[in-house]
Homo-oligomer: A and B are copies of this chain.
């Protein structure tokens, strides 16, 4: 691992992020990453956060058109309410703040507590819970479905709506619509090693894969002998489509877990597009890359999100963050 000591991995990462991104305001001590121009007059603030180890999620999505602020916790550990309250105060212009929360027990509890505290301080809070992972119901850190790749869609599209001047109620409704329209399925080709453990957190022998893996290496549906890219695409897309039956075009996220080469992700995307075409699903936009990762895990996930014209317009709207940038 490219670290000093496990205890400083998150702080070191934040210092390095601050140096690379002067357009962001990074509070290393309090662990809050904020758009430098926040609060933006009249704009709803968008705050997310969660355990570290999934970069660029969430800090890499802070900037015009997406998140107003992000709160990174320790590796695979929820941030604390203090961080979220501080973030909300930093980005609230009076128009209120939307919390985007991945469905893990710690995140949910801490964002709930933070919402109460922020509201006590006079900040109006909305909330969207992201629970898109169809692999399993209930898991190591989750009651219900886990929140994974759809988080990117919720953050981008709610962020665009806020940038356009939508009200808190409207931004929240759009965020919920995106979550309800999106489903994900992930596959691990290797286990993940956290800095504190220093060895793989679960046992996945060479030549096997885990279908339905979580982004912290939580167990999925089943362990199998290695499959081809074509077979993994068939299995993953069908798992998503079993749960989401799109009646219109979708956004597709073909996401890497961290250690899978971009060349392989593009090859996997070719297979994902093939399955979607075979199933009669039209793809409006495709994003391929490492966006919602699990440290050094090899593997991939597929997220589909059905979009209407309004959601597609918001997806296409300009965004200027470290990890997602287009338009102006």
A298 to chain B, nearest CB (A): 7
- For A199, give the chain B residue with the smallest CB separation: B206
A238 to chain B, nearest CB (A): 17
With contact pairs A60-B262, A261-B53 given, residues A273 and B1 touching in the complex (Cβ less than 8 Å): no
In the bound complex, do residue B266 and residue A229 qualify as a contact, i.e. CB atoms below 8 Å apart? no
Q: Oligomeric state, in number of copies?
A: 2
With contact pairs A2-B300, A189-B1, A288-B16 given, residues A261 and B295 touching in the complex (Cβ less than 8 Å): yes
Q: 1/0 per position for A294-309, CB-CB distance to B under 8 A?
A: 0110111000000000
Query: How far does the alpha carbon of A183 sit from the alpha carbon of B13 in the complex, in Å?
Result: 24
In the bound complex, do residue B296 and residue A259 qualify as a contact, i.e. CB atoms below 8 Å apart? yes
Q: 1/0 per position for A8-20, CB-CB distance to B under 8 A?
A: 1110111111011
With contact pairs A55-B261, A262-B293, A293-B262 given, residues A286 and B9 touching in the complex (Cβ less than 8 Å): no
Q: Is the interface of A mostly helix, strand, loop or mixed?
A: mixed
Name A20's contact: one of B2, B10, B189, B287 (CB within 8 Å): B287
Query: How far does the alpha carbon of A121 sit from the alpha carbon of B293 in the complex, in Å?
Result: 47
Task: Scan residues 268-322 of chain A and give those whose CB is less than 8 A from a CB of chain B.
Answer: 268-271, 273, 283, 286-288, 290, 293, 295-296, 298-300
In the bound complex, do residue A263 and residue B53 qualify as a contact, i.e. CB atoms below 8 Å apart? yes
A321 to chain B, nearest CB (A): 11
- For A261, give the chain B residue with the smallest CB separation: B295
Query: How far does the alpha carbon of A263 sit from the alpha carbon of B59 in the complex, in Å?
Result: 10
Query: How far does the alpha carbon of A273 sit from the alpha carbon of B13 in the complex, in Å?
Result: 12
In the bound complex, do residue B328 and residue A264 qualify as a contact, i.e. CB atoms below 8 Å apart? no
In the bound complex, do residue B12 and residue A266 qualify as a contact, i.e. CB atoms below 8 Å apart? yes
A205 located at the interface, meaning its Cβ lies under 8 Å from any Cβ of chain B in the complex? no
Question: Which chain B residues lie closer than 8 Å to A283 at the CB level?
Answer: 19
Query: How far does the alpha carbon of A69 sit from the alpha carbon of B172 in the complex, in Å?
Result: 43
Q: 1/0 per position for A94-117, CB-CB distance to B under 8 A?
A: 000000000000000000000000
Query: How far does the alpha carbon of A20 sit from the alpha carbon of B291 in the complex, in Å?
Result: 15
Task: Scan residues 97-151 of chain A and give those whose CB is less than 8 A from a CB of chain B.
Answer: none
In the bound complex, do residue B16 and residue A269 qualify as a contact, i.e. CB atoms below 8 Å apart? yes
A225 located at the interface, meaning its Cβ lies under 8 Å from any Cβ of chain B in the complex? no
Q: 1/0 per position for A29-49, CB-CB distance to B under 8 A?
A: 000000000000000000000
A3 to chain B, nearest CB (A): 5
A232 located at the interface, meaning its Cβ lies under 8 Å from any Cβ of chain B in the complex? yes
Question: Which chain B residues lie closer than 8 Å to A78 at the CB level?
Answer: none
In the bound complex, do residue B12 and residue A260 qualify as a contact, i.e. CB atoms below 8 Å apart? no
In the bound complex, do residue A290 and residue B262 qualify as a contact, i.e. CB atoms below 8 Å apart? yes
In the bound complex, do residue A267 and residue B2 qualify as a contact, i.e. CB atoms below 8 Å apart? yes
- For A56, give the chain B residue with the smallest CB separation: B262
- For A193, give the chain B residue with the smallest CB separation: B261
Known contacts A2-B264, A16-B265, A325-B325; can you find 4 more A-B pairs with CB under 8 A?
A1-B264, A14-B266, A16-B271, A327-B328
